């Protein structure tokens, strides 16, 4: 994804376009300098507007940061939800979730640095937003695990948190290592590890109770990974 041009385009902009321009400019400044070193003057210069224009849209620097954070955490959440709701193939769900995180950290505009590597992690409003999106994603995954594997909710939520944690940490590690592995190959590697662990849990069969995941089809080592009742 190519970062938008945040320089002045001349003339007046509709309020929504100006707001988007300011957010993009602020994101570039925050990513390159960090929150504490960034100044509203820097953001105004990057957007090609006067500082009063910035204040017309955002009361302060923290309001800008939180708006950016809300935007990108919502995008990540939407990407994961589309994966989970777009198929009943649980192997594809696992891979898609991991891929969503790798795509997120690999974006040119680097929003992950403001979400997962922020210098404001001890600030309540920032911490709450980051923890909230991680919790919502983990719970969405837990919904699938609880339904398909028949695990207690607490167990399913722990597994959901494990998968999201693995996806986030490995994606960032891959980027920090200099992308020494092609992204698709890295996603596939982590997806295989995750799937081999998750598919070991029993699936729920409404008529027969629980049975090990391996006692179904001969496909994928006895797992019909395209079935809605596999995990």
Q: Are residues 12 and 124 in the same domain?
A: no
Structural domain of 23 = 1-58
Q: Are residues 132 and 152 in the same domain?
A: yes
H-type helices in 7-123, by residue range? 15-33, 40-47, 51-57, 61-85, 90-105, 112-115
- In this predicted structure, what is the pLDDT of residue 194? 94
Q: Are residues 157 and 84 in the same domain?
A: yes
What is the model's pTM? 0.81
Three-state secondary structure call for residue 221: coil
- In this predicted structure, what is the pLDDT of residue 201? 80
Q: Are residues 13 and 127 in the same domain?
A: no
Q: Are residues 190 and 138 in the same domain?
A: yes
- In this predicted structure, what is the pLDDT of residue 227? 42
Q: Which helix (H) or strand (E) holds 203?
A: strand 203-205
114 occurs within a structural domain:
yes
Contact status, residue 99 vs residue 125, Cβ threshold 8 Å: no
Q: What is the mean pLDDT of each run of 10 residues along the chain (231 residues)?
A: 47 89 97 95 96 96 97 97 94 96 96 93 92 96 89 93 97 96 97 91 52 36 40 39
């Amino acid at each position: 994804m190519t970062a938008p041009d945040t320089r002045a385009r001349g003339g007046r902009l509709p309020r929504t376009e100006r707001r988007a321009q300011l957010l993009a400019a602020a994101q570039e400044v925050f990513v390159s300098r960090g929150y504490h070193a960034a100044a509203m003057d820097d953001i105004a210069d990057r957007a090609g507007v006067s500082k009063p224009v910035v204040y017309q849209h955002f009361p302060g620097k923290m309001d800008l940061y939180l708006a950016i954070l809300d935007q990108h955490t919502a995008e990540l959440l939407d990407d994961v939800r589309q994966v989970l709701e777009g198929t009943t193939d649980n192997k594809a769900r696992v891979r898609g979730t991991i891929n969503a995180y790798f795509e997120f950290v690999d974006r040119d505009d680097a929003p992950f640095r403001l979400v997962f590597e922020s210098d404001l992690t001890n600030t309540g409003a920032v911490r709450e937003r980051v923890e909230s999106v991680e919790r919502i994603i983990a719970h969405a995954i837990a919904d699938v695990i609880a339904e398909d594997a028949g695990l207690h909710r607490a167990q399913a939520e722990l597994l959901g948190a494990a998968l999201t944690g693995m996806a986030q940490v490995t994606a960032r590690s891959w980027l920090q290592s200099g992308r020494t592995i092609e992204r698709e190959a890295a996603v596939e590697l982590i997806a295989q590890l995750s799937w081999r662990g998750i598919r070991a849990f029993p699936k729920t069969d409404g008529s027969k109770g629980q049975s090990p995941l391996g006692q179904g089809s001969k496909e994928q080592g006895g797992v019909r990974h395209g079935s809605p009742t596999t995990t």
